[in-house]
């Protein structure tokens, strides 16, 4: 269950930070083209705790799939 963290007065943007010339979504397209982030369901994430274990399992599955393909 996700809970939003409590706001703290120290979390506010300081006056010296100026985002008035910022461009929303400036890098969005580039990120979407090169990103390969996958969100695992909680039960799967309990088993595969890091990228290395996910990659190892998928490589093994791909190898089995190739070996059994007709």
Element (DSSP H or E) covering residue 67: helix 51-68
Do residues 42 and 49 lie in contact, with contact meaning Cβ atoms separated by under 8 Å?
A: no
Do residues 68 and 62 lie in contact, with contact meaning Cβ atoms separated by under 8 Å?
A: no
pLDDT digits (tens, 9 = 90+) for 47-68: 999 989 999 999 999 999 999 9
Res 41: pLDDT = 95
Regarding pTM above 0.75, the answer is: no
Contacts of range 1-4, beta carbons closer than 8 Å, 24 or more positions apart:
none
d(CA 65, CA 36): 22
């Amino acid at each position: 269950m996700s809970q939003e963290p409590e706001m703290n007065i120290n979390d506010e943007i300081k006056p010296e930070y100026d985002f008035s010339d910022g461009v929303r979504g400036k890098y969005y397209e580039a990120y979407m083209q090169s990103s390969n982030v996958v969100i695992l369901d909680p039960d799967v994430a309990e088993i595969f705790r890091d990228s290395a274990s996910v990659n190892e399992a998928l490589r093994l599955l791909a190898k089995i799939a190739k070996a059994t393909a007709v």
